[in-house]
């Protein structure tokens, strides 16, 4: 796809919460959570909403691109957890940004932590097909709303809230391209990670106890680790083959920020040097689908992304899916 990123932006809530603070609130010993998670701090919504974060990130992305909101004719939300089940989140973000009725298409996609990459590819295909010119894709997450603090604080402490957005347009020759994208799903581990309530699985009127019991996030880390260790390298090899790249061709890896320990394992497993990975998990935690675009914006604003580079987006998600995209800037 002859698609390029012309702007990015990110946003976090005002409240920063350290892991030491969480340990005190939970009556745990100093270092009890920091040692097992590797996360030192994260940002947590208090006064802000998911829509506030999305609009803040989108506004910065548009400013970075030098565009007004009215230039957008496609908006895709790629949030792991939406603002509400129905309607989609993207139309509300479109409204809050001041876009006129009928001026753009707005809808959501959902592939859990890989939501941004799915939104990116969907927007890119639509731009290439001539259905739109300027797309705004965003992921905004309030992970702190459904965490299992009582039963699994070591899992809950991995997460943080945040949002990020990117503006996409068609690339001219020499301006870069998406060399390849790939997703592979392993539904044998479908139950290893998720939130059961909020859809049609449980009838709130008839199954209130079951609805409540499945309203918090759960994760079987050992099962996910086993599956990833078994299949991720093969997935990566297939993605690089599609792109026509060797591993040494990759200039920068922008991964999903699952956890500091998960990123260290990814570096060992894939053979990428740690300095080639954008790792912000210690400071921001796992921001679900916002992790990849958030890390991308950090890298761009730190000067780690330049024209002519080969970027590799990589991630895993509930489902369980592996996803990646090879982007030439």
Instruction: Supply the pLDDT for residue 161.
Output: 98
Domains of the chain: 3-170 (3.40.47.10), 177-328 (3.40.47.10)
- Percentage above 70 pLDDT, the chain: 100
55 is catalytic: no
User: Three-state DSSP class for 111?
Assistant: coil
Instruction: Supply the pLDDT for residue 241.
Output: 98
Contact 326, 242 (CB under 8 A): yes
Instruction: Tell me whether residue 204 is exposed, middle or buried, using C-beta atoms within 10 angstroms of its C-beta: 0 to 12, 13 to 18, 19 or more.
Output: exposed
Instruction: Supply the pLDDT for residue 132.
Output: 98
Say which of 55, 79, 193, 286 is annotated catalytic: 286
256 is catalytic: yes
Cis peptide before 87 (omega within 30 of 0): yes
pLDDT digits (tens, 9 = 90+) for 244-303: 999 999 999 999 999 999 999 999 999 999 999 999 999 999 999 999 999 999 999 999
User: Three-state DSSP class for 255?
Assistant: strand
**CA atoms of 67 and 49, how far apart (whole Å):** 25
Per-residue 3-state assignment (H helix, E strand, C coil) for 146-174: HCCCCCCHHHHCCECCEEEEEEEEECCCC
Say which of 45, 132, 193, 256 is annotated catalytic: 256
Instruction: Supply the pLDDT for residue 234.
Output: 97
231 is catalytic: no
Instruction: Supply the pLDDT for residue 239.
Output: 98
**CA atoms of 239 and 236, how far apart (whole Å):** 5
Instruction: Supply the pLDDT for residue 76.
Output: 99
DSSP code per residue over 200-219 = SSS-TTT-HHHHHHTSS-EE
Contact 116, 293 (CB under 8 A): yes
Contact 82, 53 (CB under 8 A): no
Instruction: Supply the pLDDT for residue 326.
Output: 98
Contact 1, 326 (CB under 8 A): no
Cis peptide before 320 (omega within 30 of 0): yes
Distant-in-sequence, close-in-space partners of 266: CB < 8 Å, separation ≥ 6: 232, 255, 272, 277, 314
Q: Residues in the chain, how many?
A: 329
Say which of 55, 113, 132, 193 is annotated catalytic: 113
The overall pTM is greater than 0.85: yes
Can you read off the two tokens belonging to residue 169?
Answer: 């347009």
Q: What is the mean pLDDT of each run of 10 residues along the chain (329 residues)?
A: 97 98 97 98 98 98 98 98 97 98 98 98 98 98 96 97 98 94 97 96 97 96 93 97 98 98 93 95 98 98 97 97 98
């Amino acid at each position: 796809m002859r698609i390029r990123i012309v702007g990015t932006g990110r946003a976090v809530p005002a409240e920063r919460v350290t892991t030491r603070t969480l340990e005190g609130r939970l009556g745990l010993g100093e270092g009890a959570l920091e040692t097992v998670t590797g996360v030192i701090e994260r940002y947590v919504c208090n006064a802000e909403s998911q829509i506030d974060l999305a609009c803040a990130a989108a506004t910065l992305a548009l400013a970075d691109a030098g565009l007004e909101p009215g230039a957008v004719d496609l908006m895709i939300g790629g949030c792991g957890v939406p603002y509400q089940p129905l309607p989609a989140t993207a139309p509300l973000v479109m409204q809050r940004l001041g876009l006129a009725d009928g001026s753009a298409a707005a809808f959501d996609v959902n592939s859990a932590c890989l939501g941004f990459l799915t939104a990116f590819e969907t927007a890119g295909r639509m731009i290439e097909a001539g259905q739109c010119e300027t797309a705004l894709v965003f992921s905004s997450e309030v992970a702190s709303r459904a965490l299992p603090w009582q039963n699994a604080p070591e899992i809950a402490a991995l997460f943080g809230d945040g949002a990020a957005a990117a503006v996409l347009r068609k690339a001219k020759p020499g301006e870069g391209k998406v060399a390849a994208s790939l997703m592979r799903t392993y539904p044998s581990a479908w139950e290893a990670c998720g939130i059961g309530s909020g859809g049609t699985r449980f009838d709130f009127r008839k199954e209130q106890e079951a609805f409540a019991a499945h309203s918090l996030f759960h994760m079987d880390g050992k099962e996910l680790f086993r599956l990833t260790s078994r299949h991720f390298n093969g997935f990566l090899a297939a993605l690089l083959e599609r792109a026509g790249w060797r591993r040494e061709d990759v200039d920068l890896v922008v991964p999903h920020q699952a956890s500091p320990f998960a990123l260290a394992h990814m570096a060992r497993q894939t053979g990428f040097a740690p300095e080639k990975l954008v790792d912000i998990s210690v400071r921001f935690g796992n921001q679900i689908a916002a992790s990849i675009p958030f890390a991308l914006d950090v890298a761009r604003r730190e000067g780690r992304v330049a024209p002519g580079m080969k970027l590799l987006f990589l991630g895993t998600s509930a489902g369980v899916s592996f996803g990646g995209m090879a982007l030439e800037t």
